[in-house]
Amino acid sequence: MTNYYVKSEANDRGDHVVHSEECQFLPNEDNRKALGDYAKCETAMDYAKDEFDQVEGCQTCCPDCHDG
Ligand SMILES: [Zn+2]
């Protein structure tokens, strides 16, 4: 299981990026929301969509959920 976070600040495409806790690009504590502990990034993405309309998996830590 992995802890996932979504970045509070959107990137320049308007996406809020989902990261795992071990990602080198994990945002600082004041710029992220904890999503919880999940086996797959797909599950974390579903929870991130409850928080923000536009979400995207991080290319580095969540390549299975990164689109494009
Ligand atoms: Zn990441």
Going from the first residue of the chain to its last (68 residues), give the mean pLDDT of each consecutive group of 10, the final group possibly shorter: 98 98 98 98 98 98 92
* pLDDT at residue 68 in the model: 67
The amino acid that residue 38 corresponds to is Y
Whole-angstrom distance, CA of residue 63 vs CA of residue 67:
8
The candidate with the shortest Cα–Cα distance to 58, out of 12, 28, 34, 23, is: 23
List Cβ neighbours of 10 (8 Å cut-off, separation of 6 or more).
16, 52, 54
Q: How far is the CA of 63 from the centre of ligand 1 (A)?
A: 9
Number of structural domains (the chain) is 1
Which domain range does residue 48 map to?
Answer: 2-65
Q: How far is the CA of 11 from the centre of ligand 1 (A)?
A: 13
* pLDDT at residue 67 in the model: 84
Ion ligand 1: protein residues whose beta carbon lies under 5 Å: 19, 23, 25, 58, 60-61
